[in-house]
Amino acid sequence: MNTANIKKFVIGVIIRSDETLSALIDVKGEIVAKDILKTSDYPEVGGFLQELSMRIMKLIELGGGHDHVRSVGISAPSGHFLSGSIVNSPNMPWKGVIPLAAMLQDQLGMAVALANNAYVTSLAEHSFGSARGMNDFIVVTLGSGMGSCIFSNGRVHQGYDGFAGEIGHTCVMTNGRQCGCGKKGCLEAYVGAKGIIRTAKELMEASDEPSLMRNLEKLSPRTIKECCDQGDQMAIEVYRRTGHMFGLGLANYASIVNPQAIILTGGISHAGDWLIDPTRESFEANVFGNMRGRVKLLVSKLDDRERDVLGASALAWEVPEYSLFK
C-alpha cells in the first residue's frame, strides 16, 4: 500500500450567526490550526463565502495542500445534509436556500459536506461522546433554536426529504405561544432561549413576589440559572416549567422512536439539574409505560466547541473524496 496517498487532515467548519470557526484537524481529532471569522460582518452570503474560502485555503496550505487535506465538513444553522444547503434559516442574515456546500466545493476543489448542528453533534457523540457504542439514540441540541438528530440502527435517520428530527417544531400546546417558524405552540417556543426568557417575564408580571431576576441587567437562560444557584424561588420555577414542557416533548418523541438514550447538548443544557430534574420527572410521567425507566436522559460531557469541531471533522471523513486536481 502506498501510504503517501493517505490524507491525514480534514477541515471542520462551524457556522454560527455570530462567528464562524474553521479548523484543520488530523485523523485523531486533534486541532492543528484554527481560524475565527465574524459571521455578522457579512450581511450578504457572497462576501462571506469569498472570505471563508480564502481562510480555508490558508488552513489547507498549512496542512500541506490538497495532497494531504481530504475534505471539508460544515455545521450550519438549518443546514440540510442531502442538498448541502442552508434552507430558510430563521436565525441567519442570509434568507432563502443557499447551496453553500456546492459553492464552496467549486471554490476549493475539494469535497464539502454540510449538515445542521444536531446532525454534526450526533456524529461527535457517537464517535467520541456519551453515545459511543450505541446504535439507537437521539441527540437534542438546545440553544436559541432547538434541533435533534435520530440515530437508528447505527445510522442517521434523515427522513424522505432530509428534515427528520424537528422536535422543536412539534406542537405541545394548541393555540399556544407564537413560534419563529410561523406556527403556534411549538416546543421551542417554551424551551428555547426566547421561550425561557418569556416564561421568566410572565412569572415576574404575574406577581409582586421578590426575585433576583428583577434586578438582572440582562435576562438570559444563563443569568436565570445563576439566580437558581442563589436559591431564587421564581427562577427555579422558570426552569421547573421549562423542564415540564421539555419532558413532555421528549416523552412523545421517545414513545415513537424508542431510543436507548436521549443526549442533551447546547447552551441551555448547562442549566444542569435545575432543568434536568423537572425534565426527567415530566418525561417519566408522560412516556409510554413500557419505556418508563428504560430511556437514559444524559447531558453531553463533551466541551461544546470541541464537540462541534469533532463532529464537523467526522462529517468530513464520511463524505466521498473529490478533487478537481486529479
**Residue 245 binds Zn ion, judged by CB under 5 A:** no
Nearer to Zn ion, 115 or 146 (CB): 146
- Nearest alpha-carbon partner for 167 in 196, 138, 194: 138
Nearer to Zn ion, 179 or 212 (CB): 179
**Residue 183 binds Zn ion, judged by CB under 5 A:** yes
- Entry field: residues in the chain: 326
Using the contact rule CB under 5 A, the part of the chain among 91-99, 166-174, 198-206, 258-266 near Zn ion is 166-174
**Residue 179 binds Zn ion, judged by CB under 5 A:** yes
Nearer to Zn ion, 33 or 171 (CB): 171
C-alpha–C-alpha distance, residues 178 and 182, integer Å: 7
**Residue 146 binds Zn ion, judged by CB under 5 A:** no
In this structure, are residues 53 and 39 in contact, taking their beta carbons and an 8 Å threshold? no
Locate 321 and state its grid cell.
Answer: 473524496
Using the contact rule CB under 5 A, the part of the chain among 21-29, 35-43, 169-177, 240-248 near Zn ion is 169-177
As measured in angstroms, the least distance from the Cβ of 17 to Zn ion is: 18
- Nearest alpha-carbon partner for 144 in 17, 302, 306, 247: 17
Nearer to Zn ion, 10 or 87 (CB): 87
**Residue 181 binds Zn ion, judged by CB under 5 A:** yes
As measured in angstroms, the least distance from the Cβ of 181 to Zn ion is: 3
* 21, 124, 139, 186: residue in contact with Zn ion (rule CB under 5 A): 186
Q: Which of residues 94-123 bind Zn ion (CB under 5 A)?
A: none
Q: How many CB atoms lie within 10 A of CB 95?
A: 11
CA-based Rg of the chain, rounded to a whole angstrom? 21
Nearer to Zn ion, 163 or 288 (CB): 163
**Residue 193 binds Zn ion, judged by CB under 5 A:** no
Alpha carbon 249 to its chain's center:
17
- Nearest alpha-carbon partner for 151 in 294, 262, 307, 246: 262
Using the contact rule CB under 5 A, the part of the chain among 8-16, 128-136, 146-154, 173-181 near Zn ion is 173-181
Nearer to Zn ion, 179 or 228 (CB): 179
**Residue 167 binds Zn ion, judged by CB under 5 A:** no
Number of residues interacting with Zn ion: please give it, by CB under 5 A.
5
**Residue 169 binds Zn ion, judged by CB under 5 A:** yes
Strands 79-80 and 137-142: unpaired
Using the contact rule CB under 5 A, the part of the chain among 142-150, 177-185, 269-277, 303-311 near Zn ion is 177-185
Nearer to Zn ion, 129 or 165 (CB): 165
> Burial code of 181-212, b = ≥16 C-beta within 10 A, e = fewer?
eeeebbbbbbbbbbbbbbbbeebbeeeeeebb
The order of strands in the sheet holding 111-115 is 31-38, 19-26, 9-15, 69-75, 111-115
Using the contact rule CB under 5 A, the part of the chain among 22-30, 70-78, 165-173, 310-318 near Zn ion is 165-173
**Residue 177 binds Zn ion, judged by CB under 5 A:** no
Specify the amino acid at residue 102: A
Q: Is 256 exposed, middle or buried (0-12, 13-18, 19+ CB in 10 A)?
A: exposed
Three-state secondary structure call for residue 152 = strand
As measured in angstroms, the least distance from the Cβ of 86 to Zn ion is: 18
Contacting residues toward Zn ion, per CB under 5 A = 169, 179, 181, 183, 186
